[in-house]
Copies of this chain bind each other. A is one copy, B any other.
């Protein structure tokens, strides 16, 4: 892929993207209503490590896999599969002959399509593509009006609706917040149903128990059909390693369900460096690679060819308090390195997002988020969980920050288009027309490009101080508060076949009736 293009190239590209000027206009409109296609990066990747450095880290990962090994706990089947594959199994510790994991991973696709129930909203995960999905996992939600509180299923639905309405989000995500008002053994049904009912973007599956993963697959089959699901990826699910060097039975159980169903799993060492890995980026990278390789290889043992994504969640901690820290330089270095390691392995990569430790969507939240998001995009992350709405180290989903972050995602999408070197982009005629000492505001070229020039932020205030003050002197937090309420008020659900809806509701009811409520 070249970032430079001749004049013909630019025209061809615009045609190929379809929609021409209209699509470009939509892409430039920050708060615009037109859904954006996942990103296809037309700018180069940023790399921090050379070939030599990457090879050193790969060698260290192989040493970890061979010498120290990875524990597969509470899963006899996993141990049997590894033994059969030629690994050395010692109680729950699995040690891998050199190159075994890498060899197994060769059967995984380099890139795959995750289908959405709206065919136009399918996403390509891998290669030069980047897909943005919202925050995942917080037990709390927060907004300016009510502050921080336990998340409910109503909040969950709201975040699904907002992610559906925000054009810069390509994906509906998974546990956009944890609806703690619903029994823990039943809430996955409501979550999956909400993604299907209130959005038509692709979504993620439940991983908190093997049977909940089974429920997710069953519901996906009601929507897409049994055969389609077996042949195609319609679910992507997050399988975290218990770093260091451990997979537990819960995660292995869910991984097996999804891999057997030919659905995608993101194998992610979850690492706060200094606690779950060494304090150094190079050490964290080697351990991350070893863990991710073992998990992805295991998915290939379960079903060769099942889509897997190399995941890395790696942040730093405060060496004083042990608290996780975000937006610092070390996680950015790890991200760039891990992205390059994933490319060398030939699998899609998940990392980054709009991470921060702040308790409110203030300057700290924004600095830290931007310092995570820009490396995410320049490093070439393919699937970006937590791309919008993450606050407080992932403990809270923020309504306002979802809006703010989505605006940044829109900017990243425009940045990834790179510099237009077409004749119109070069604008020599405009410079000739205007000449020294004049201005370009009214010239023909400016008029012709009026609608497509420059990203338009939905949330930034660029008015004069006086006008800003006259309008109430609101900061970005307060402006975002008005915006998410407006989007929710304007929300219209995408159509869903009533027969499918009824089948889903029937399924949920039967499953809920089959077991008593559990809350722990």
Chain A residues engaging chain B, CB cutoff 8 angstroms: 2-4, 43-44, 46-50, 52-53, 56-57, 60, 63-64, 67-71, 93, 148, 242, 244-246, 273-283, 285-287, 316-325, 327-330, 332-333, 337, 357-371, 374, 378, 392-393, 395-396, 401, 404, 408, 411-412, 414-415, 418-421, 424-428, 430-432, 434-441, 445-446, 449-451, 453-457, 459-465, 468-469, 473, 475-477, 480
Contacts and interface: CB of A to CB of B under 8 A. Distances in A.
B287 A56 contact: no
Nearest to A94: B436
A245 B368 CA distance: 39
Given A366-B367, A426-B60, A48 B53 contact: no
A358 B461 contact: yes
A60 B453 CA distance: 20
B363 A276 contact: no
Contacts of A446: 274, 278-279
Contacts of A473: 359-360
Contact of A47 (B44, B52, B282): B44
B323 A464 contact: yes
Given A43-B48, A337-B419, A395-B465, 14 more contacts: A4-B52, A44-B48, A53-B421, A244-B435, A274-B441, A275-B441, A278-B445, A325-B454, A325-B457, A325-B460, A329-B412, A329-B414, A333-B419, A364-B460
A456 B325 CA distance: 9
Contacts of A275: 439-441
B333 A418 contact: yes
Nearest to A282: B425
A246 B437 contact: yes
Given A46-B44, A68-B431, A244 B437 contact: yes
Contacts of A4: 49-50, 52-53
Nearest to A449: B279
B475 A360 contact: yes
Contacts of A437: 71, 242, 244-246
Contacts of A439: 244, 275-276
Given A358-B476, A436-B68, A431 B287 contact: yes
27 contacts: A4-B53, A46-B378, A53-B419, A93-B436, A242-B437, A244-B431, A244-B440, A275-B439, A275-B441, A280-B453, A282-B420, A283-B427, A283-B430, A283-B431, A285-B419, A286-B428, A329-B415, A359-B461, A361-B363, A363-B404, A363-B475, A366-B366, A367-B370, A367-B408, A371-B411, A393-B462, A396-B465
One complex includes copies of this chain to the number of 2
Given A357-B461, A441-B275, A449 B280 contact: yes
Contacts of A436: 68-71, 93, 244-246
Contact of A281 (B67, B357, B425): B425
A369 B419 CA distance: 21
Contact of A318 (B70, B278, B462): B462
Contacts of A93: 436
Nearest to A455: B328
A101 to B, nearest CB: 16
A462 B325 contact: yes
A343 to B, nearest CB: 16
A317 B286 CA distance: 45
Nearest to A320: B456
Contacts of A427: 278-280, 282-283, 286
A246 B431 CA distance: 13
A340 to B, nearest CB: 11
Contacts of A357: 460-462
A49 B364 CA distance: 32
Given A367-B408, A420-B280, A453-B279, A333 B244 contact: no
A53 to B, nearest CB: 4
A87 to B, nearest CB: 14
Most buried by B among A64, A71, A329, A411: A329
A63 B428 contact: yes
A458 B436 CA distance: 47
A409 B114 CA distance: 40
A283 B425 contact: yes
A274 B50 CA distance: 39
A328 B393 contact: no
Most buried by B among A2, A245, A431: A431
A471 to B, nearest CB: 11
A438 B71 CA distance: 11
A362 to B, nearest CB: 4
Contacts of A282: 419-421, 425-427
B49 A280 contact: no
